[in-house]
Amino acid sequence: MTDASAPEKTLPLDAWHRARGARMVPFAGYAMPIQYEGIIAEHRWTRESAGLFDVSHMGQLIIRGAEAEKALEALLPADLAILKEGRLRYSLLLTEEAGIIDDLMVTRRGDHFYMVVNGATKDGDIAHLESKLPHTVVVDHMKEQALLALQGPKAAATLARLVPGVEALGFMTGGAFQIGGVTAWISRSGYTGEDGFEISVPAAQAVAIADLLAEQPEVKPIGLGARDSLRLEAGLPLYGHDLDTGTTPVEADLGFAISKRRRSEGGFAGWHRISAELDNGLIRRRVGLFVEGRQPVREGAVVIDDEGNDVGKVTSGGFSPILEVPIAMAYVPVASSEPGSVVRLAQRGKIFQAKVAPMPFVPHRYHRKGGGQ
Amino acid sequence: MTVYYTDEHEWISVEGDGATVGITDFAQGQLGDIVFVELPEAGRQVTKGGDAAVVESVKAASDVYAPVSGEVVEANQALGDDPSLVNTAPEGEGWFFKLRLSDPSELDGLMDAEAYRAFCEQQ
């Protein structure tokens, strides 16, 4: 459990961030860098070159044991049976009512599964996994691992200079590599919509690896502020804002995370609700919005109908540094969820017009090889 | 012309019963990249300590309070086209609005430049 009054914990790169002029803020129970030189500059640098993110607050878990695959499939809607060695999938921990406990990445790695979960929810996720998995399946929280992300169009060429062969990874695949004399697990994945990598290294070597990456001319450190604006432009939901236990994957427009076999066979938490929603339709759905004018509409603004009734809510909102217009994610009535639909938003007593936009707002530039994921 | 500062990090430059209001360099640095400023319309009465404007950074919206009471006589239209003036020239071209003071004695409790500098150092 997170105790709001508990002092912030520090991450392995705390002093590293401070030495680079980061402004530190509390996030997920840790002191974390919100920005260095400025959110817009860092955002654009990531879209044009390569940004280095410290995401060591995230939970890195190993799940192993007899029948781990089958046991995990009872909790996740992913088809783990067809997940090949070194491949990762986006998936969701679900309640029996199909509420989203967390969103995550799961990788088949040798005799176990490697899972990366959100920092603010990791303790709850571990408790959930331990209570639901059979005693033959063990959850190991790798507290001694740091996690870095290198994201942007120059990430591959830059990282390949330090890690020969890493450029051969396709989107949503990973492998073990040496970087600066350290063994790292590197996957081609991220949370910006750009090509890029996530790099898991021992915490004791995190400073050396961060230095090695940051001294490359294409690389600058990027804070949480730009991480949020980048993922919003990429149409990627943020847990605790766009997703929560009161939201189902179908409402959240994450149907792609429910694998075909699992959809027809079921056998995972929340399947009955999901199946009914897929068959019978929904009341509300997560969409992207272009907001008219220049003023951003933020999380917490209300979607209203013509009579002023509250019919939905904005769950993320801000200003797109690339498009230079305000953008948002919101849950809106399904009847108003098609691109081009006009919706009205209320924020601090003011009405805003917005238009449903296809997401991503800024195209993804993932490095897909051959036949997809 | 005398410039005063508030503990909410606004500046107010006073000449006679007219005044120009903006946010300080310290404030813009804390807010980060400004993407929108919602300004009061000319003719609006504002009250010392009451809402007068909203400044939006990439990350969040922040209220700007009226440092003194008065009638808004002009808002800085240039901020509509280029809100980043608040970042680049917070105490110049990035001014927010001009006021006609209704009670100049309200200026008495505000800080001068030296006191404000000391105040910022404690932040």
Chain B touched by A20 (CB under 8 Å): no
Max intra-chain CA distance, chain A? 64
At A6 the pLDDT is 63
Q: What average pLDDT does this structure show over A195-209?
A: 98
Mutate to test the interface with A, among B26, B30, B35 (most CBs of A within 10 A): B35
Q: What is the pLDDT of residues A49-108, one digit of tens each?
A: 999 999 999 999 999 999 999 999 999 999 999 999 999 999 999 999 999 999 999 999
Contact A294 B35 (CB under 8 A): yes
Annotated binding site of A: 198
pLDDT at A273 over 80: yes
pLDDT band at residue A265 using 50, 70 and 90 as cut-offs? very high
Q: State the pLDDT at residue A5.
A: 54
CB contact under 8 A, B35 and A225: no
Residue B58 has its nearest CB partner, among A39, A294, A348, at A39
Is residue A372's pLDDT more than 50? Answer: no
A2 confidence band (pLDDT: 50, 70, 90): very low
Q: Which residue among A41, A229, A295 places its CB closest to the CB of B56?
A: A295
Q: Tell me, what's the pLDDT at B1?
A: 84
Number of residues written out for chain B: 123
Q: CA–CA separation, B115 vs B123, rounded Å?
A: 13
Task: State the pLDDT confidence band at A369, using cuts at 50, 70 and 90.
Answer: confident
A327, A317 Cβ separation under 8 angstroms: yes
Which fold would CATH assign to domain B2-118? OB fold (Dihydrolipoamide Acetyltransferase, E2P) (2.40.50)
- Gap between the Cα atoms of A323 and A339, Å rounded: 18
* Ranges of CATH 2.40.30.110 domains, chain A: 283-357
- Give the strands of the sheet with A196-202, arranged side by side: A174-179, A182-187, A196-202, A145-151, A50-54, A219-221
Contacting B residues, span 25-64, partner chain A, CB-CB under 8 Å: 32-33, 35-36, 38, 54, 56-61
With beta carbons less than 8 A apart as the criterion, state whether A193 and A233 touch: yes
Task: Check whether A371 has a pLDDT greater than 70.
Answer: no
| N residues, chain A | 373
**CATH class, A283-357 region:** mainly beta
B-chain CB neighbours of A34 within 8 Å are 59
Per-window interface: A 284-303 vs B, CB < 8 A: 294-296, 298
Q: Is the pLDDT of residue A3 over 90?
A: no
**Across the interface, do B61 and A296 touch by the CB < 8 Å criterion?**
yes
Contact list in A for residue B60 (CB cut-off 8 A) is: 298
Contacts of B54 in chain A (CB under 8 A): 348
Query: Of all residues in chain B, what percent are helix, strand and coil, respectively (each to 5)?
Result: 25, 40, 35
Contact B33 A229 (CB under 8 A): no
CATH 3.40.1160.10 fits A14-55+144-233, yes or no: no
Task: Enumerate the known binding-site residues of A for substrate.
Answer: 198
Mean per-residue pLDDT over chain A, rounded: 96
Within chain A, which residue ranges are assigned CATH 3.30.70.1400?
Answer: 59-141
Q: Under 8 Å CB-to-CB from A190, ≥6 apart: which residues?
A: A149, A151, A196, A197, A198
**Nearest CB neighbour to A38, from listed B33, B56, B80:** B33
Please name the residue of chain A whose CA is at the shortest distance from the CA of residue B35.
A319
Contacts of A41 in chain B (CB under 8 A): 33
Lookup: tokens for A30 = 């840790």
Tell me which residues of chain B have a pLDDT lower than 50: none
First-last CA distance in chain A: 35
Give the pLDDT score at A370: 63
Question: Per-residue pLDDT tens for A211-263?
Answer: 999 999 999 999 999 999 999 999 999 999 999 999 999 999 999 999 999 99
User: What is the reported pLDDT for A8?
Assistant: 85
CATH fold for domain A59-141: Alpha-Beta Plaits (3.30.70)
CB < 8 Å to B35, chain A? 294, 296, 319, 326
Count of CB pairs separated by less than 8 Å, A with B: 43
Which of the four pLDDT bands, split at 50, 70 and 90, describes residue A373? very low
Domains in chain B: boundaries: 2-118
